[in-house]
Structure 1
Amino acid sequence: MRPLRRLALAALAAAACLGHAAPASASPVYPIPDADGFYAAPADLARFQAGDVVRSRMVPAANFPGSTVWQLLFRTTDSADEPIAAVTTVLVPPGGGLDRPLVSYQPFVNSLGMQCAPSHSLFDGGMREASALNLLLARGWAVAVPDHLGPISAYGAAQLGGRITLDGIRAAKRFAPAGLAHSPVGMTGYSGGGMATGFAAALASEYAPELPIAGIAMGGVPMNMGKLARDLGTTPNPMFGLGFAVAMGLEREYPDRAAMSRLLNPAGRALRDQIANACTEQIISAGANRSFSDVFDGPMDSDPSIVQVLHENSLETFPGVPRAPMYEWHGEADEIDPDLVRAVAGRYCQAGTPVQLDILPGVDHGGATTQGALRAFGYLSDRFAGLPAPSNC
């Protein structure tokens, strides 16, 4: 763990114990570490390989009748190539693993607090998508749900999310009690979960070439972080808080290259501190109808290092190309630009990847979620069955 991050986490933990908030500053503000010791990385983490299981536990699964559920702490790698620990939740339907298909499901986690992570929200009612997992389990598939924002809830760090997703799949396959060592793999996610899915797909051929990825399905994906921030922040916007949280999450992951806090004015530092441990609804409420000029003293795009970080975490500007067949869906009326989705799909097509792109007529971002997800599950089913992948390239 980088020294700056380690010191910040220690300071936050101490402040939490003393009942005092961390002081406002021009440095990143990290979340309060999870109080559950299961999430803590061991001192010897570096001796593990990427995707190795460090510890495991079985958890109650009342919301997933008949399924066996484990949580796995595994070793992965952060954006500075340092070892970190992350968690995935693995659900296996009745009958055991039996090398049945394994789907890695990346939820949309638009949050900065550790309590918002999927390994918590799956069980405390916080995850709106949780019931969809029963549709996958009912098909006889095992499901892995990674905490793809990582151990500091680095919202917006989509490359990190891709690595955590791939290493979470490795961990699920290496965890012998799950019985998934030879399972074919699918990946799916929507919105922020789609960003992690998309980066996992684009990184897989180099980062985890051994994984037998049969198909990928992702929807509502923001293809360019900088352009999304522009769309949410140039003028007052009810969703401004999410764009602001992305800036804070990227700073957490890239403290030396994306030093956003030094650009904040007093109102910006106050908003940053207010949402440092917040989940989605709190972030949206706190930042509603603000704009960049309300919280920043200068434009972020004036710093080449920040621009480069945004490019590295945007599928539009990331050179990697998925090799597994892909289904992608997006609402025609989505606030997230459908033209960028078409452009990225076209680049993948030109590289030889079979892509089936559905632009759903008259549907906005929220409306496309369920409509496309049902098609996505059918698409993965066909890939697991070995059927030829459709393409409308």
Structure 2
Amino acid sequence: MAALTLAVYLVSPEILLSSRAGDSETPGWGFTHTQFSADDGEPAAVATAEAAIGSVPMVQAQAIMGWGVDNPEPSPGVYDFRSLDRRMSFIRHSGGTPVIVLCCAPDWMKGGERGETDWDRLEAAPYPEHFADFAALSATVARRYPYVRHFLVWNEFKGFFDDELNRWDAEGYTHLYNAVYDAVKAVDPANQVGGPYVEFASKAPGSPGTSSELQGAWGAVDQRYLDAFTFWNQHRDGADFVAVDAHATTAQGAPDEFTAVQKFAAVDTWLRKQVDLPIWWPEWYVEPTQPGWSWDHQVALRIAAMIEFASSGADTVLYWSPRPQGQECASCLWTDTWARDGGRPLPFLDVLQRFVRWFPPTVDRQKLELGSGVVALESHLARVIVNTTDQRTTVAVDGRQIVMSAYETRWLTATRAWAGAAGQR
């Protein structure tokens, strides 16, 4: 496995303890569990992954059906929480701040047979006559896991597209959202509930149907997604945070992959004009790996995206699909727990944990443009510097010239003088 070019500096125990994810009501950085995760496999590998993840506790989200979890209510009033219990147990044992995604719906709520599960219809929405049933299931989940305080309602408007009108059925989703919001709040008013978890899809600027108010060199957001968000925002019973997600790729009109990730900050800026609520990104995506991309290149792109999130005020940002499916990858967090020696932390887990430690939403985070394609994120705890080009370059950092290789990442912490740490590796 190739080593990433990360310059490592130690941080004091006091800083570590003061910035643990679980110490604050503001969740912060973390990841969303998907079908293949770290809770199942070889016992020793699961224990290895649990210890690695728990070394710096962070936010961990899990859906109530799908993405590694079975149907929680295959028949009305008949529950099966075994797989969800296992995931939630793993989250607790690894010190995570738990988040539950209230998606998806059992088959009998969407026209299927009672007692059966058709996974090909996982993303179908419940019928309106079953919105109250889904809200009741959500309340049952909230009561079963009383230590969970954060709940996301549904996932990307799945099943809520109106083919006849060629737009999102924001009315239907909002009715479901309000029923779930009221039910989960009735269990415990301290529960935090958010939505609409809509994807901000975009196209090249000037494409038909794109927004004139949310566009840039990275592309232009499809107006239908903004309309859906606006309707929900105007008709929701309440919300403790807003949730969105997006892809940021050159297919949407950006000239390169690093320009594309500026979309994330643009969306945050637009959201701040709409609501005075914490902004959540339960999943996010960047340009797929291209042939010939080095691991440094892949990691630099993801760090550049995380800089956009942090500097534009995103409060909670969750990494998606953190485990490789039988292969190693630069952007995964741990190795396959079904392998006897699996569950080992991969370099990007260290990257994510550094953001948890040094760039939580509770501190001021500022993006710096250092020239020559080099960007940085700074807090009072640390600084991360990324060369976003395929060229060796020299930049000035606090009066000192430092040379960075192509796509290199460097970390500096506040436990050393900025200038003194800049040239060290």
TM-score, normalising length from structure 1? 0.27
User: Which of the pair is proportionally richer in helix?
Assistant: 1
Bigger radius of gyration among the two: 2
User: Which of the pair is proportionally richer in strand?
Assistant: 2
> Does 1 or 2 have the higher relative contact order (CA < 8 Å, sep 6+)?
2
TM-score, normalising length from structure 2? 0.25
